[in-house]
């Protein structure tokens, strides 16, 4: 699945309207996801600049190194290509771009994410241009269009299927009395399963550096929220977490569940139920007009009121789209008002050092009618107990 070509001219017009309102002659974007958003070209980021350039008048340009030229054409990038030979090159990529323009802009914007080194190089290649920081594209990316939501919805179906397959693999090892998988093996298995499903069912797969994947950890390892999967095996009696995600048409979702291996202890049951309640309350709060920080507070207050505040390690969630993590942040300090078309993770957790972590995450679409869970793997205690 891929966005229809008609998506891009409409988007370019919205960017131009915002440029006009901001008094800018052009916008230059060098974040790989901003480039994919504006042109449909996905690539493996490295030191070679890949840049989308949107002038107020005239065609959108895509600056690429020669080694990406055919790949950009193959992906039908919605922009005119400007190709530089190689990086760093005798003439800098920025100079090649400047030379391709009919006239240099008087006042141009770049994203806040552009590096200080690049802005200095731009200044040298665009004499007379005033460069300012502009978040025009970051603001547009906050609210997803119906075409994008269709991609998120399909990604959610696949992420849920990956969760089910991971649970099935573990349940089958328990039932057959065979060795339980290591974190790495289980992560590899569900990653391959999700990718195979996409290739089997989709005519066109938009390949991104992490098409399907996730974090998998059990027992005390799972008390470290962002620990990468290692060689430890799952162990009977311990919880384990499948924190999975995938991208369809470059649009991500995540779907995460904590599973209990064997009959739950009272302690395990308590932690799980508190997180389940927090996730339910937090998800219900994702409604148009609610401030992100307020949803987060309602969500985490469930955990605080249960006396588990010391085990909090992170906020309720984050925006998700072309980026696996992107604004808005469902967190203290983010006063963004939720609006229809925003897609967010809702993923409170508690992390008990030396014991385990418990987290439940769904990807949620904000609609006029309230929150809609795009991922929907079941969440009752009986749904996540394996081999009891």
Summarize as ranges the residues that interact with its own copies (CB under 8 A): 42-44, 46-47, 65-71, 74, 85-90, 92, 110, 112-117, 119-120, 133, 182, 184, 188, 192, 195, 199, 205, 207-209, 223-231, 312-315, 318, 324-326, 329, 331-334, 351, 353
Q: In angstroms, give the least distance from the CB of 327 to its own copies.
A: 8
User: Smaller CB distance to its own copies: residue 89 or 262?
Assistant: 89
Q: In angstroms, give the least distance from the CB of 108 to its own copies.
A: 13
Q: In angstroms, give the least distance from the CB of 305 to its own copies.
A: 18
Q: What is the dihedral of CA 356, 329, 144, 248, to 10 degrees?
A: -30
User: Smaller CB distance to its own copies: residue 225 or 288?
Assistant: 225
User: Smaller CB distance to its own copies: residue 45 or 370?
Assistant: 45
User: Smaller CB distance to its own copies: residue 107 or 313?
Assistant: 313
Tokens (6 digits) for 251: 């649009």
380 beta partners: none
Q: What is the rounded distance in angstroms from the CA atom of residue 54 to the CA atom of residue 266?
A: 58
Q: What is the rounded distance in angstroms from the CA atom of residue 388 to the CA atom of residue 385?
A: 7
For 135, other C-beta atoms within 10 Å of its C-beta total 16
User: Smaller CB distance to its own copies: residue 20 or 335?
Assistant: 335
User: Smaller CB distance to its own copies: residue 114 or 375?
Assistant: 114
Q: In angstroms, give the least distance from the CB of 147 to its own copies.
A: 23
Q: In angstroms, give the least distance from the CB of 89 to its own copies.
A: 5
Q: What is the rounded distance in angstroms from the CA atom of residue 93 to the CA atom of residue 27?
A: 16
What is the rounded radius of gyration, in angstroms, for the C-alpha atoms of the chain?
A: 23
Q: What is the rounded distance in angstroms from the CA atom of residue 298 to the CA atom of residue 357?
A: 21
Q: In angstroms, give the least distance from the CB of 376 to its own copies.
A: 25
Q: What is the rounded distance in angstroms from the CA atom of residue 280 to the CA atom of residue 299?
A: 8
Q: What is the rounded distance in angstroms from the CA atom of residue 379 to the CA atom of residue 358?
A: 12
Q: What is the rounded distance in angstroms from the CA atom of residue 158 to the CA atom of residue 45?
A: 25
């Amino acid at each position: 699945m891929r966005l229809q070509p008609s998506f891009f001219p409409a988007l370019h017009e919205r960017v131009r309207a915002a440029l006009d309102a901001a008094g800018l002659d052009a916008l230059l974007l060098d974040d790989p996801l901003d480039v994919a958003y504006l042109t449909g070209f996905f690539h493996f980021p490295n030191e070679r600049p890949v840049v989308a350039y949107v002038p107020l008048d005239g065609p959108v340009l895509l600056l690429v190194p020669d080694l990406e030229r055919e790949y950009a054409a193959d992906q039908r990038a919605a922009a005119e290509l400007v190709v530089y030979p190689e990086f760093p090159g005798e003439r800098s990529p920025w100079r090649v771009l400047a030379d391709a323009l009919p006239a240099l802009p008087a006042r141009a914007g770049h994203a806040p994410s552009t590096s200080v080194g690049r802005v200095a190089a731009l200044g040298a290649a665009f004499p007379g241009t005033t460069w300012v920081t502009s978040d025009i594209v970051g603001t547009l990316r906050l609210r997803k269009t119906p075409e994008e939501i269709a991609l998120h919805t399909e990604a959610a179906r696949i992420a849920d299927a990956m969760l089910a397959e991971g649970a099935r693999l573990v349940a089958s090892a328990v039932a057959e009395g065979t060795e339980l998988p290591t974190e790495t093996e289980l992560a590899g298995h569900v990653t391959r399963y999700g990718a195979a499903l996409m290739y089997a069912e989709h005519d066109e797969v938009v390949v991104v550096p992490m098409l399907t994947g996730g974090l998998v950890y059990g027992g005390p390892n799972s008390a470290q929220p962002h620990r990468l999967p290692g060689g430890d095996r799952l162990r009977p009696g311990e919880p384990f977490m499948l924190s999975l995600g995938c991208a369809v048409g470059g649009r991500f979702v995540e779907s995460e569940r904590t599973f209990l291996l064997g009959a739950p202890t009272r302690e395990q049951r308590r932690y799980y139920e508190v997180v389940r309640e927090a996730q339910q309350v937090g998800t219900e709060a994702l409604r148009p007009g609610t401030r992100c920080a307020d949803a987060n507070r309602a969500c985490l207050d469930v955990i605080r009121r249960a006396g588990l505040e010391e085990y909090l390690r992170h906020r309720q969630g984050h925006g998700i789209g072309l980026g696996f993590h992107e604004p808005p942040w469902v967190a203290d300090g983010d006063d963004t008002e939720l609006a229809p078309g925003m897609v967010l993770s809702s993923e409170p957790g508690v992390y008990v050092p030396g014991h385990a972590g418990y987290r439940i995450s769904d990807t949620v679409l904000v609609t006029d009618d309230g929150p809609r869970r795009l991922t929907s793997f079941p969440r009752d205690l009986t749904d996540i107990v394996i081999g009891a």
